[in-house]
Amino acid sequence: GQQVMQIPQYQHVQEGEDFTTYCNSSTTLSNIQWYKQRPGGHPVFLIQLVKSGEVKKQKRLTFQFGEAKKNSSLHITATQTTDVGTYFCAAFVNQAGTALIFGKGTTLSVSS
Amino acid sequence: KAGVTQTPRYLIKTRGQQVTLSCSPISGHRSVSWYQQTPGQGLQFLFEYFSETQRNKGNFPGRFSGRQFSNSRSEMNVSTLELGDSALYLCASSLIGAPGTEAFFGQGTRLTVV
């Protein structure tokens, strides 16, 4: 079945350093979503990418969707302690609903 | 506008018992999905409901079931609980019942099976 793989599983950085998490799918995706879950919290939607090669920015966060629509990345520039949490990529199970398959997530810790 | 509400927030059950969890979606949202989150397996899709119909089902045993009511509220039930069912159960609602829409998650129900 469809799988979404995400690396690395954990990443620790010093405040101010950059951070990147990568997401790969075994199949071509129609779109991909990214969510953030703070410690003790619930996943919160960050963004959706739809087009091949798409790049979107949200302040210090840059999201990319691969040309083949099989991979995606999230890059955070100059991390802050507020960036701490787990970042998930997610793809739709099928085109018949809103069910999502999530990557295992990358847990980011930041020391000041 | 109220967010997705899940009740109860915490639950402790004994092996062999059954449990029912409740989810009230954001007003106007008709699509509700359930996920199980564990440290080892991450976020795994359980099932999705839209207009009282189960539209998608994940790879979980038949002990896991759910339903959706006419007001879009949803419940999930787990029978014959096992220790491995201990997890955070998350409900998510979407405004439009089609791919490409944002999912809004509730705070979750933390289930502990002893």
User: What pLDDT, on a 0 to 100 scale, did the predictor assign at position B20?
Assistant: 98
Mean pLDDT rounded to a whole number for chain A: 95
- The residue with greater pLDDT, B101 or B73, is B73
pLDDT confidence of B101, banded at 50, 70, 90?
Answer: confident
Tokens 């991390």, located at residue? A79
Q: How many beta-carbon pairs below 8 A join chains A and B?
A: 82
Give tens-digit pLDDT for A42-67: 999 999 999 999 999 999 999 999 99
Give tens-digit pLDDT for A37-47: 999 999 999 99
Interchain proximity B55–A43, CB inside 8 Å: no
Tokens 């793989």, located at residue? A5
pLDDT confidence of B96, banded at 50, 70, 90?
Answer: confident
Residues A57 and B70: their CA atoms lie apart, in Å, by 39
Which chain A residues are Cβ-neighbours of B89 within 8 angstroms?
none
pLDDT confidence of A7, banded at 50, 70, 90?
Answer: very high
Which chain A residues are Cβ-neighbours of B106 within 8 angstroms?
42
- Closest residue on chain A to B89 (Cα): A42
Interchain proximity A98–B45, CB inside 8 Å: no
Interchain proximity B98–A44, CB inside 8 Å: no
Which chain B residues are Cβ-neighbours of A35 within 8 angstroms?
103
SS3 state of residue A30:
coil
| DSSP-assigned states of every residue in chain B | ----EEE-SEEEE-TT--EEEEEEPPTT--EEEEEEEETTTEEEEEEEEETTEEEEE-S--TTEEEEE-TTS-EEEEE-S--GGG-EEEEEEEESSSSTTPPPEE---EEEEE-
Say whether residue A68 is in contact with chain B using an 8 A CB cutoff.
no
Say whether residue A46 is in contact with chain B using an 8 A CB cutoff.
no
Question: Which has the closest alpha carbon to B43: B5, B6, B90, B102?
Answer: B90
